[in-house]
């Protein structure tokens, strides 16, 4: 009751105080001092589990990045003041008229893809508002389109059984009160006022959370920009939860997120879940997480953008589930309002796969086997699903399970057998029944699979904690030295000085080692344009591999080589290369 009264109070405050004006002067309204009806410190772990349950079970959602920038085909997050001059960018909305937009169709596509929720960009860093906001005229109602996209999507999602959610950037390069004006903070506003901006932000969120029915998630972003603070983040979290107590909020509400790994800094408040970006999160059972990954390369629509294969998409989803996380797969609709046919086709392929094998994804938890390159696992009740992506041997030998296996069968079809001892579990699947995308082995246990502690599978990289040096280290800081690329920690990196176009990283494996595979992860994907892998032989460097881009995750087979000293030689980069991990494996 208290809650309802309070909601009425907020709504009427918004109605009375809010007025629409041509500029952002509208932020004259009183801040909505949300009275926390939910005490975030008092939520028990059981309450939290209850709140987050639907989302964890859903495992798969659709991310949508859309706005006037799609007219240009450049990135929504960083083309204002870069690829497109600010004056031009800010006028794009005047020609934004996506007459083929059909909210029902988007919701249907999401449903048919097997996605259970949709996260839509109400406002990205560029400040344009995709709903009818009374706090600004820089919104969809001032475009020739004049239709409230958020409203139509909210209704369509409801119709199709999809939980509607919002992405909302905290930073706002357009708003005069927000101190910064373009990516990297290169443009400053003449007369900023962060308190006033915070009021605008809060007012708009109150609008979004009271006018459009249930919002499943608030997906904040733009958290890294200097003006934002942890205090403001905590207050914002409380406001949001007060307006919709059951809502789920990501960790970008505050400033505790650790870069693109999306982890939350230990001991800091980080909303409800972690947000690895453009990468699959690490195995993590004690705190929920969701990888956000694009179906092409860009978040917003880009003509002829490279579309990921079905295999890559579905394996990404399976790997997320196996690590106990969700996947938020992004599409960028075109400026006419349609999602590209080829993207729709891809989504429907995923949906078809989930129709058949969804029991191994939805409502499962990750593990117990911790993922490696070839295998990941999911579990539910008395069942473990072993997902095998590639086979190194005739049979698959896994570490032992503490519970007896009753039955083993191939969910993906065919005959198999198994053998269990206290030392190992062996699974035999004839070659003809191995699936190129994912072979799913369903193990039915005599007891629960849920209490089994995580079981590591991995083979360590040969470079792990070996002696490393580099031609250049960012400002000679130890935090960015060569050893960071071989420490097995996906959050630390080797970095080079700004403007560096070529650099090398050298690892001494301690003794001659045989290897045949390399994995490299670039912290700023797409900087490296060409590189070679070289080994030292009789005091000369021999090239064993030549590559072009690296990107967030580069992996390839190498000609089988035995060597002690190995170099990653970056020959051409658009800016200082920086590498999370450089790993070598024998298999
Ligand atoms: O909306 C999509 C992108 O447009 C948006 N996030 C996804 C979900 C995005 N905006 N900027 N970026 C992604 C890249 C930002 C990278 C950096 Fe940083 C910001 C580099 C340095 C500051 C993140 C925070 C990595 C290190 C700190």
Ligand 1: centre distance to CA 172 (Å): 14
Q: Confirm or reject: Cβ of 299 under 6 Å from ligand 1.
A: yes
Question: Is residue 7 over pLDDT 50?
Answer: no
Query: How high is the pLDDT of residue 222?
Result: 97
Give CA–CA dist 40/270, Å, rounded: 12
Query: Contact, 286 vs 16, CB < 8 A?
Result: no
Query: How high is the pLDDT of residue 394?
Result: 73
Query: How high is the pLDDT of residue 335?
Result: 98
Partner residues linked to 555 by β-bridges: 519
Q: What are phi and psi of 446, to 5 degrees?
A: -80, -10
> pLDDT, tens digit, for every residue of 117-143?
999 999 999 999 999 999 999 999 999
Question: Is residue 482 over pLDDT 90?
Answer: yes
Question: Is residue 587 over pLDDT 80?
Answer: no
Tracing tokens 């403001």 back to the chain, one arrives at 232
For residue 62, give both structure tokens: 């659709």
Ligand 1: centre distance to CA 223 (Å): 9
**Which pLDDT band holds residue 458 (cuts at 50, 70, 90)?**
low
Task: Render 521-586 in DSSP notation, one character per residue.
Answer: EESSTT-EEEEEEEEEETTEEEEEEEES---S-EEEEEEEEEEEEEEEEEEEESS--EEEEEEEE-
Half-sphere exposure of 292 (CA within 13 A, CB side): 24
Beta strands in 370-497 (DSSP E): 375-380, 383-388, 395-398, 405-410, 417-420, 425-428, 439-445, 467-470, 494-495
Mutate to test the pocket of ligand 1, among 223, 256, 270, 277 (most ligand atoms within 8 A of CB): 277
Count of residues in the chain = 587
Instruction: Please give the helix or strand (H or E) that residue 150 lies within, else none.
Output: helix 149-160
Question: Is residue 25 over pLDDT 70?
Answer: no
Q: Confirm or reject: Cβ of 569 under 6 Å from ligand 1.
A: no
Q: Fill in the DSSP letter of residue 454.
A: P
Instruction: Please give the helix or strand (H or E) that residue 264 lies within, else none.
Output: strand 263-264
Question: Is residue 34 over pLDDT 60?
Answer: no
Q: How are the residues of the chain apportioned to helix, strand and coil, as percentages rounded to the nearest 5?
A: 25, 30, 45
Mutate to test the pocket of ligand 1, among 70, 77, 274 (most ligand atoms within 8 A of CB): 77
Residue 150: exposure state from Cβ atoms within 10 A (0-12, 13-18, ≥19): buried
**Which pLDDT band holds residue 347 (cuts at 50, 70, 90)?**
very high
Q: Confirm or reject: Cβ of 225 under 6 Å from ligand 1.
A: no
Question: Is residue 517 over pLDDT 60?
Answer: yes
- Nearest CA among 520, 513, 521 for reference residue 560: 513
Reduced to 3 states (helix: H, G, I; strand: E, B; else coil), residue 46 is helix
Higher-confidence position of 16 and 107? 107
Q: Confirm or reject: Cβ of 224 under 6 Å from ligand 1.
A: yes
Q: Confirm or reject: Cβ of 259 under 6 Å from ligand 1.
A: yes
Q: Confirm or reject: Cβ of 249 under 6 Å from ligand 1.
A: no
Question: Is residue 248 over pLDDT 70?
Answer: yes
Query: How high is the pLDDT of residue 460?
Result: 75
- Per-residue pLDDT averaged across 377-406, rounded? 94
Q: What percent of the chain has pLDDT over 90?
A: 86
What are the C-alpha distances in Å from 304 to residues 329, 337, 350? 18, 17, 21
- Per-residue pLDDT averaged across 254-279, rounded? 96
Give the list of residues 6+ apart from residue 10 with CB closer than 8 angstroms, or none. 32, 34, 206, 210, 243
For residue 143, give both structure tokens: 């475009």
Residue 135: exposure state from Cβ atoms within 10 A (0-12, 13-18, ≥19): buried
Half-sphere exposure of 399 (CA within 13 A, CB side): 16
Half-sphere exposure of 13 (CA within 13 A, CB side): 19
Tracing tokens 């490393």 back to the chain, one arrives at 468
Give CA–CA dist 521/485, Å, rounded: 9
> pLDDT, tens digit, for every residue of 298-342?
999 999 999 999 999 999 999 999 999 999 999 999 999 999 999
- Per-residue pLDDT averaged across 214-240, rounded? 96
State the chain's mean pLDDT as an integer: 92
Instruction: Please give the helix or strand (H or E) that residue 87 lies within, else none.
Output: helix 86-89
Give CA–CA dist 13/266, Å, rounded: 38
pTM of the complete model: 0.81
Instruction: Please give the helix or strand (H or E) that residue 194 lies within, else none.
Output: helix 194-211
Q: Confirm or reject: Cβ of 292 under 6 Å from ligand 1.
A: yes
Question: Is residue 21 over pLDDT 50?
Answer: no
- Per-residue pLDDT averaged across 453-477, rounded? 92
Q: Confirm or reject: Cβ of 525 under 6 Å from ligand 1.
A: no
Query: How high is the pLDDT of residue 35?
Result: 53
Give CA–CA dist 18/12, Å, rounded: 10
Query: How high is the pLDDT of residue 329?
Result: 99
- Nearest CA among 508, 50, 578, 505 for reference residue 272: 50
Question: Is residue 361 over pLDDT 50?
Answer: yes
* Ligand 1 nearest-atom number relative to CA 77: 4
Reduced to 3 states (helix: H, G, I; strand: E, B; else coil), residue 420 is strand
Q: What percent of the chain has pLDDT over 70?
A: 93
Rama region for 551: left / alpha / beta (φ>0; ψ in -120 to 50; rest):
left
* Ligand 1 nearest-atom number relative to CA 65: 1
**Which pLDDT band holds residue 413 (cuts at 50, 70, 90)?**
very high
Query: How high is the pLDDT of residue 217?
Result: 98
Query: How high is the pLDDT of residue 15?
Result: 34
Query: How high is the pLDDT of residue 4?
Result: 37
- Per-residue pLDDT averaged across 99-112, rounded? 99
Q: Confirm or reject: Cβ of 289 under 6 Å from ligand 1.
A: no
**Which pLDDT band holds residue 183 (cuts at 50, 70, 90)?**
confident
Question: Is residue 14 over pLDDT 70?
Answer: no
Query: How high is the pLDDT of residue 406?
Result: 98
- Per-residue pLDDT averaged across 246-252, rounded? 98
Give the orientation angle of helix 230-243 with respect to helix 194-211, to 10 degrees: 20
Query: How high is the pLDDT of residue 257?
Result: 97
Question: Is residue 27 over pLDDT 50?
Answer: no
Residue with CA closest to ligand 1 atom 25: 259
Give CA–CA dist 318/315, Å, rounded: 5
Query: How high is the pLDDT of residue 552?
Result: 86
In the chain the first and final C-alpha atoms are separated, in Å, by 62
* Ligand 1 nearest-atom number relative to CA 167: 1
Residue 45: exposure state from Cβ atoms within 10 A (0-12, 13-18, ≥19): exposed
Q: Confirm or reject: Cβ of 76 under 6 Å from ligand 1.
A: yes
Give CA–CA dist 295/277, Å, rounded: 13
Half-sphere exposure of 471 (CA within 13 A, CB side): 14
Query: Contact, 201 vs 157, CB < 8 A?
Result: no
- Nearest CA among 437, 432, 394, 387 for reference residue 411: 387
Reduced to 3 states (helix: H, G, I; strand: E, B; else coil), residue 517 is strand
């Amino acid at each position: 009751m208290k809650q309802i009264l309070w909601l009425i109070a907020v709504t009427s405050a918004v109605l009375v105080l809010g007025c629409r004006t041509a500029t952002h002067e509208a932020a004259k309204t009183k801040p909505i001092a949300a009275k926390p009806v939910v005490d975030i410190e008092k939520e028990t772990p059981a309450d939290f589990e209850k709140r987050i349950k639907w989302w964890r079970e859903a495992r798969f959602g659709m991310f949508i990045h859309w706005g006037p920038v799609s007219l240009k085909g450049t990135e929504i997050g960083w083309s204002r003041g870069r690829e497109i001059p600010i004056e031009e960018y800010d006028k794009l909305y005047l020609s934004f008229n996506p007459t083929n937009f059909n909210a029902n169709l988007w919701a249907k596509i999401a449903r048919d893809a097997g996605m259970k929720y949709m996260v839509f960009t109400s406002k990205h860093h560029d400040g344009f508002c995709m709903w009818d906001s009374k706090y600004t005229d820089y919104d969809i109602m001032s475009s020739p389109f004049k239709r409230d996209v958020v409203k139509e999507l909210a209704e369509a999602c409801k119709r199709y059984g999809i939980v509607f959610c919002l992405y909302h950037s905290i930073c706002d390069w357009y708003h005069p009160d927000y101190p910064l004006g373009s990516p990297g903070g290169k443009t400053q506003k003449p007369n900023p006022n962060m308190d006033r901006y915070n009021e605008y932000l809060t007012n708009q969120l109150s609008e979004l959370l009271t006018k459009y029915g249930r919002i499943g998630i608030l997906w904040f972003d733009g958290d890294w920009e200097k003006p934002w603070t942890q205090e403001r983040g905590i207050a914002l979290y409380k406001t949001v939860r007060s307006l919709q107590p059951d809502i789920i909020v990501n960790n970008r509400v505050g400033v505790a997120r650790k870069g693109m790994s999306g982890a939350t800094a230990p001991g800091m408040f980080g909303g409800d879940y972690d947000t690895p970006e453009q990468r699959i999160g690490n195995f993590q059972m004690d705190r929920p997480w969701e990888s956000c990954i694009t179906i092409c390369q860009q978040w917003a629509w880009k003509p002829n953008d490279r579309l990921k294969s079905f295999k890559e998409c579905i394996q990404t989803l399976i790997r997320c589930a196996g690590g106990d996380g969700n996947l938020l797969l992004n599409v960028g609709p075109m400026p006419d309002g349609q999602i590209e046919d080829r993207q729709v086709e891809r989504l429907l392929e995923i949906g078809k796969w989930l129709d058949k094998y969804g029991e191994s994804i939805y409502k499962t938890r990750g593990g117990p086997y911790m993922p490696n390159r070839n295998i990941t696992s999911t579990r539910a009740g008395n069942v473990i699903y072993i997902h095998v992506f590639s086979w190194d041997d005739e049979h698959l030998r896994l570490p032992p399970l503490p519970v007896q296996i009753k039955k083993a069968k191939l969910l993906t079809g065919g005959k198999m057998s198994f053998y269990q001892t206290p030392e190992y579990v062996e699974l035999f699947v004839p070659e003809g029944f191995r699936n190129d995308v994912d072979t799913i082995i369903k193990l039915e246990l005599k007891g629960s699979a849920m209490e089994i502690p995580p079981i590591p599978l991995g083979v360590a990289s040969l470079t792990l904690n070996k002696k490393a040096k580099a031609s250049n280290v960012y400002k000679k800081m130890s935090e960015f030295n060569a050893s960071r690329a071989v420490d097995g920690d996906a959050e630390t990196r080797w970095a080079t000085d700004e403007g560096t176009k070529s650099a090398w990283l050298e690892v001494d494996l301690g003794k001659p080692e045989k290897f045949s595979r390399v994995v490299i992860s670039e912290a700023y994907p797409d900087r490296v344009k060409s590189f070679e892998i070289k080994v030292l032989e009789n005091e000369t460097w021999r090239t064993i591999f030549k590559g072009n881009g690296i990107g967030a995750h580069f992996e390839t087979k190498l000609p089988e080589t035995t060597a002690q000293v190995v170099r990653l030689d970056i020959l051409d980069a658009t800016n200082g290369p920086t590498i999370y991990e450089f790993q070598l494996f024998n298999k």
